[in-house]
Structure 1
């Protein structure tokens, strides 16, 4: 008892994020940089510090990326001096230096003594410095090695392995896309990219706390697996609290681990957006001795069950998500790091981006395996918004060595991330890798590997074993794409998940209709960023689709050629760059919208689709729906429409054209489907009214009568199918072959608080009316787009972000865009 009283103190956390400096230690640096020690922002990376110091330009602009490639070849050293007084050192038994993240290969020294050699961006590090801290000034140094030179050296040791890009990102546990991707800038960054602190404690602390919450009838159960570090062998008390309910357990002296459980008689279920409310419960764990709290931890959990149905059926093997026993139509997007320098992404930015996703009727975010494990803020927001999450382990598009030192690093990384994320209500899948199973089968890896390891141990042994041990309620798939039956190819259309890239790479987008996959985890089409983003980041004079800066900001191999090849079957290639910009954005939206409508029309056979991709990490022509400046592209409007709770779309089947009436709500949808054949001039050539009665979470197909499918003038006719205000359109000719006329628009404006309501009326048929409002002001935003109006019809857009609005500017042809403008010469 005396020992407890004399040594007892609460956990003390002292942040060490301020006061750092950084300088170049060695490498190809200019005299200006080599002779400077600059203030370092922690969390951050060296690029950001050099920019603040005025020593380098913004790498996102023009071709600064290549001019700054030397940064990845330099060894950078961070230094901090901090003071400790007698009381700080004496009041705790143990002092530990905690790095939440180091990017990537570094030697850590305290007061001149090496305390760690680290080489994994995706781990945290806890270092006992009790014997090294001293009264007065202490010197902390983090000496980073060049990630490029390190990766090259490790690749030589481990043996070269197949990958799509020149630098061996598979040989280093660092974000793969930091070496560049077909949408991403190469930064090769180094830095203390997450917070650092000293944690001082006595007697014991919570080393790990793993929470599992599961529904149980009307109630639920919470299990907390607790592992403690201790300095003395005494009994410890663990209290688990959920709301007002508590459970206590004693960890006997000498023991480190315990499981404490709690049963709740009544809980609300957590549901994804569109299926119910997002009930979350606060869980706390307190560690105490002699009635004094030594340490505590908290989590937020939701009570829900999750499973992926892969029971073979007559068509193959489904990949059907079920939450609380309810099959869910997955309406997803792929997520990449929202900034090439992720330390700049705070909770507010996550909230903006994820709210944009939610407002686009998206219900699942897949965190792609070439980036990072996202922060607590990301998962907090997803839990709160009801956005389901799918987290890849960080392995992408390459064969990965299984030898040391990577083998141990990967296991430590996996254990940490599963323990950190396993309790999340939104988390519905952990996946072993992105496209590596597919690559092993189809990309000539087997011959090139010639017996070398490629990652199979991680995907088929290590990861499922770690998940089973730490978070057994979290579903797992070895890869994406993936066929649950090993007898089938990993990218088999009728078994498990599929990636569809032939359309973008080699074929036109209407050929999406040739595929009826069980689940689409990746597909997409490119388009440029918004005009304001493009012109802010590229200063070419003249600016053309092929000007030097435009090519720098187009990372896909043959990307611009593919853009043109994908456009010409539908629209002629414009002569001026502004119209080219609009044409490529519109074609991107058409391609993805067409595919999503097609996939959804085959629900539940096709149980979901995940668009590549939601966001960008810098200003670039890419597959993203939201560009690197956070502006929404027309593609996001297409996603919003295709993922709407209720949709009507028209499709060609073997026996003709059908209207697919999709109802992703919990209520019956009954009404009249009105199908009308109309000319662009408003003349109606025929119509039919058909009853529809669509059960919840279901769809109904209605055959279109033949007499409405053979217009005399295909180039000037459209088939319109509508249930109430929900419409679908069927065109009998490509836009380039149609008789669309110049749009005739008028507008009325109503001021809101804040913003403006713009009601636009069309005097003729206008297809895909979209306001490129950022051309008026980059701070402006608009809530809709891709609206098709028949003669005399109106639609209302809400514009925010500006205090004044010039009506003439809104109707300017470079702002009020439509498909008509790409047809009329």
Structure 2
């Protein structure tokens, strides 16, 4: 038997992961229905797949066959033991649930210990009394019963007819629960209403615990000093606890402090001279610090915690100007054009996304020259691995709160739930230097506008908001901004995306904008994207088919490998996608019916459309910060599908990925004819077409370059007139330099491309090529394209201008460029990681190749 001193001695913190040994069954199934679970975290769909009870839902039409899973309730069970130390006098025993999806009745030996109804919250249940009152009890049975979210949400909707249940995607009842909204199906993903223990479960035994660590950094105006304020919350009933703080940089302790724990808190303040600032990729180093907190009693360490953080100053600059009000980000005094993408969950079964897969996704952004990722509000607050990778890679994060495309109710219990959700996630995420903005929702203000819901921006009486038919304003303009101000004051808050000072969401003078009048809405020509933008374009896009290998992963019958097959249409959830894809193809390129050719055309049109958007909006960055950034919808996919993604479910990059990398390069050149709407003019050309050439740079210093512009016949490959050469051009830092402009004579000059290059010391650092629009009017005689492989390099030449030369995306190979336009007498080199001497060459195609 332990001595009295041992019984009174404070315990070392112990954490036991409850990962293995679980089983599950459908509720109301018989006792023989128990099936093994490989491990938790998991979701019931994956557990059923593992037990061969359903087929892989991403293949063929299996999504439909698996929908029944989301209409049932499920029970998970685990038998576990509590170590003897958990029964000592000074012990506290807690079951910690980092995430339960979604309606969970948690029972320990038949006694309910937790009822949860929020997928986005973590829960801690003190079971100390149960453990100590059952001394000698060898084994406990932990059960997690997950009620059917689908049916429960519908019942809540039915019980509240006074609320206007209005949505853009999924069914309206989804808004009744705090659960990932895309699980009800979206216009890019399947309907898969999951349930499960989706984040880790563990048992903790301790006498004292560090419950929270907060780091706030104040930087002096000259950036030469940073003041760190660290505060902790300590959970313990013991007296005499001591907290030691240590700040580490590159493994070395640079500052330390010891404080007594008083009233459950301990604090420290540090002055850091000459701090190493955290900067986004391309603008400086991703310097990271660690704060270690050691909790001790009588010189014995009981537990420790670590927070990694970066020292940086973020400002969302919204200042009145000649246009309206600016909207851009400034980090450590440096203005950043935020070219990037929107992010959806990378799988419909989110527990299948490993840390390695997160990293692989985000690593694609760096060579893609993308600076910002927007975590969209209909998915999840992402895993720590996601934000850790963004910190390390220098990717700025726009973080939505989890509300999307709906008129959300604000019942009292919902408001309490949302507030707890916000605090839980803010405390988990606030130390990440990559997170620079929290936004209240995705497109909920647009739902308000389109349905005429009440919104009087001049009414500042918060209680009135709850009485309107748009009560969620109370969440976005009171609950969430107050939570951010209290918990993460160094991070900007924005009520919604899009939103701009209470003006309509399509107001181009203020706030951010979702520009969907290309593809959706009025279906404008993508050639005028530049004119459709606002102060910050946080959504816009164009669909494209994934690569053929991705299509073959879900098409089970080779007879279905044609562009309009039933299964291919099923794997495109966008309303009216057949008409919209057809419209943009027919307007711009000559149609084909074979699947490889059709894939290439949709990908070419996507790349062209996004280039017109990014290129024009980045040019506007230099025009008094007219446009502060552009985030394409969307970066990734949650299943193999046709969507707006620029990289598909298997991380295969579409041509648009490469096109955007060139437009967002540190130095990029743009050349463009002024748009002429050929459909309105009945295909009549103007006598002349104005063109302009400019250079954009994100570098912080002037550079001197040479610029060449050629005028090359599309049909012959010959230069139709003398080149324009500008020597020793001074390119402005972090802005736009207009170089030259002119006119194309459409009457006397044959069809030609404008081919621009930027050179430094005779080395080409940027290219752009402007083609006569639309491409379908052009003649493409046979092009002699050569791809000469030299080691891991492909040297590409052509005798005539080539449009969108795309290389195969083969597994295990990584290209530094693709989807390129090639001009005669201008060899381009593409490097391929994984290409060895003797390896089978990558296949390739280009516009008009199939006609040769």
Report the TM-score when normalising by structure 1: 0.93
Whole-Å separation in 1 of the counterparts to 2:113 and 2:581: 52
Where does residue 794 of structure 1 map in the other structure? Answer: 827
Counterpart for residue 479 of structure 1: 496
Q: How does 1:110-129 map to 2 (within 5 A)?
A: 110-129=108-127
**How many residue pairs are counted as aligned between the two chains?**
798
Instruction: Determine the structure 2 residue equivalent to 1:519.
Output: 536
CA distance in 1 between partners of 2:187 and 2:572 (Å): 8
Task: Indicate if the aligned counterparts of 1:221 and 1:261 stay in contact, CA closer than 8 A.
Answer: yes
Task: Choose the corresponding residue for 1:336, options 334, 341, 344.
Answer: 344
Q: Which residue of 2 aligns with 1:403?
A: 411
2:635 aligned partner: 614
Matched residue, 1:574: 592
Q: Using a 3 Å threshold, how does the CA distance of structure 1 residues 547 and 289 change in structure 2: closer, same or farther?
A: same
Report how far residue 438 of structure 1 moved.
Answer: 2.3
Q: 1:527: how far off?
A: 0.5
Instruction: Give 1:661's aligned residue.
Output: 695
What's 1:44 paired with? Answer: 42
Report the counterpart of residue 820 of structure 1 in structure 2: 848
Map Cα deviations across residues 218-239 of structure 1 (whole Å, 9 max, x no partner).
Answer: 121221222222233x133222
Aligned counterparts of 1:453 and 1:129: Cα–Cα separation in 2: 41
In 1, the alpha carbon distance for the partners of 2:809 and 2:379 equals 31
Alignment partner for residue 166 of structure 2, among 149, 154, 162?
A: 162
Indicate the SS of the match to 2:36. strand
| Deviation per residue, 1:647-684 (Å, 9 max, x gap) | 11123569932112101112312223222222132322
Q: Does 1:539 align with 2:556?
A: yes
Contact 2:157/2:176 (<8 A) preserved: yes
Residue 463 of structure 2: aligned partner:
none
2:560–2:567 contact (8 Å) kept in structure 1: no
User: Which residue matches 1:207?
Assistant: 211
2:547: which partner in 1?
530
* Matching residue of 2:231: 225
Q: Distance in 1 between matches of 2:618 and 2:806?
A: 24
Unaligned runs of 5+ in 1: none
8 Å Cα contact 1:22/1:40 also seen in 2 = no
C-alpha contact (below 8 Å) 2:802/2:822 kept by paired residues: yes
Deviation of 1:358 after TM superposition, in Å, equals 1.0
* Superposed CA offset, 1:711-740 (max 9, x none): 73443x111222222222222342211122
> 1:762 corresponds to which residue?
798
Aligned equivalent of 1:742, options 782, 786, 802: 782
Paired residue for 2:292? Answer: 284
Write the distance in 2 (CA, Å) between the matches of 1:200 and 1:64: 44
2:588, 2:773 within 8 Å by CA — same for their partners in 1?
no
Match of 1:783 in 2: 816
| Structure 1 stretch displaced more, 721-730 or 623-632 | 721-730
Q: Secondary structure at the match of 1:529?
A: coil
| Equivalent of 2:508 in 493, 503, 510 | 493
Q: 1:420 to 1:36 in 2, by over 3 A?
A: closer
The structural deviation recorded for 1:792 is: 4.3
Q: Please give the alpha-carbon distance, in whole angstroms, between the structure 1 residues aligned to 2:69 and 2:781.
A: 53
Per-residue CA distance 1:119-177 (angstroms, 9 max, x = gap): 11101110001122343111000000011011111222334511122252111111011
Distance apart, 1:770 and its partner CA = 1.0
1:557-596 alignment runs, 5 A limit: 557-596=575-614
Partner of 1:190: 195
2:267 alignment partner, one of 247, 259, 275: 259
Deviation at 1:6, TM superposition (A): 2.0
Task: Name the counterpart of 2:459.
Answer: none
* Structure 1 position 175 matched with structure 2 position 180: yes
Give 3-state SS (helix, strand or coil) of 2:47's partner. Answer: helix
* In 1, Cα distance between equivalents of 2:150 and 2:38: 21
Is 2:439–2:496's contact at 8 Å kept on the other side of the alignment? yes
Q: Is the 8 A contact 1:95 1:198 kept in 2?
A: yes
Tell me, yes or no, if the aligned pair for 1:219 and 1:267 is still in contact at 8 Å.
yes
> What are the equivalent positions in structure 2 for 1:657-806 lying under 5 Å apart?
657-680=691-714, 681-684=716-719, 685-691=721-727, 692-706=729-743, 708-710=744-746, 712-715=748-751, 717-724=752-759, 725=764, 726-751=766-791, 756-774=792-810, 778-801=811-834
The offset of 1:798, in angstroms, is: 3.1
Partner of 1:104: 102
Conserved? CA contact 1:16–1:198, under 8 Å: yes
8 Å contact kept, 2:294–2:304: yes
Structure 2 counterpart of 1:464: 481
Q: 1:8 aligns with which of 7, 10, 15?
A: 10
Do the aligned partners of 1:496 and 1:518 also contact (CA within 8 Å) in 2?
A: yes
Match of 1:238 in 2: 243
Cα deviation, residue 351, structure 1: 1.3
Assess, with a 3 A threshold, how the Cα gap between structure 1 residues 805 and 548 changes in structure 2: closer, same or farther: farther
- Encode CA deviations 1:100-136: one digit per residue, 9 max, x unaligned: 1111111000111100110111011100011223431
The range that moved more, 292-301 or 213-222, is: 213-222
CA change 1:620–1:213 in 2 (3 A) is same
Alignment of 1:504 with 2:519, yes or no, is yes
C-alpha separation in 1, matches of 2:478 and 2:519: 34
* SS of residue in 1 equivalent to 2:382: coil
Query: Which residue of the partner structure matches residue 148 of structure 2?
Result: 146
CA contact (8 A) 2:673 2:770 kept: no
Looking at structure 2, the residues matched to 193 and 455 of structure 1 have their Cα atoms a distance apart, in angstroms, of: 27
1:635 aligns with 656
8 A Cα contact 1:162 1:445, kept in partner? no
Query: What per-residue deviation string (whole Å, max 9, x for no partner) do you get for residues 589-612 of structure 1?
Result: 111111111111111211111111
RMSD: 2.2
Quote the offset at 1:445 in angstroms. Answer: 4.0
Question: Matched residues in 1 for 2:539 and 2:563: separation?
Answer: 27
Residue 555 in structure 1 maps to residue 573 in structure 2? yes
Q: Is the 8 A contact 1:431 1:480 kept in 2?
A: yes
Q: Partner residue of 1:368?
A: 376
Distance 1:438 1:577, change over 3 A: same
Q: Aligned partners of 1:278 and 1:138: how far apart in 2?
A: 46
For the residues of structure 2 that align with 1:747 and 1:468, how far apart are their CA atoms?
57
How far apart are residue 525 of structure 1 and its match?
Answer: 0.5
After superposition, the Cα gap between the structure-2 partners of 1:481 and 1:109, relative to the gap in structure 1 and judged at 3 Å, is same
Question: Helix, strand or coil: the match of 1:764?
Answer: coil
1:84 maps onto 2:117 in alignment: no
The 1-side partners of 2:648 and 2:506 are apart by: 29
Corresponding position of 1:67? 65
Query: In the TM superposition, what is the alpha-carbon distance from 1:12 to its structure 2 partner?
Result: 0.5
Encode CA deviations 1:727-781: one digit per residue, 9 max, x unaligned: 2222234221112223322333233xxxx3222332332221111243xxx4444
Deviation at 1:286, TM superposition (A): 2.0
Q: Which residue of 2 aligns with 1:136?
A: 138
Displacement after TM superposition at 1:363 (Å):
0.8
Contact map agreement 1:158 1:171 (CA 8 A) in 2: no
What is aligned with 1:271? 279
Aligned mates of 1:507, 1:178 — CA distance in 2 = 31
CA contact (8 A) 2:86 2:93 kept: no
**Superposition map of 1:347-496 within 5 A:** 347-446=355-454, 451-483=468-500, 485-486=501-502, 488-496=503-511
1:34 Cα offset (Å): 8.2
Maintained 8 Å contact 1:210/1:420: no
Segment drifting more, 573-582 vs 308-317: 573-582
Distance 1:475 1:140 in 2: 41
* Cα contact 1:39–1:49 (8 A) shared by 2: yes
Whole-Å separation in 2 of the counterparts to 1:288 and 1:5:
17
Aligned mates of 2:22, 2:7 — CA distance in 1: 37
Does the 8 A contact of 2:562 with 2:593 survive in 1?
no
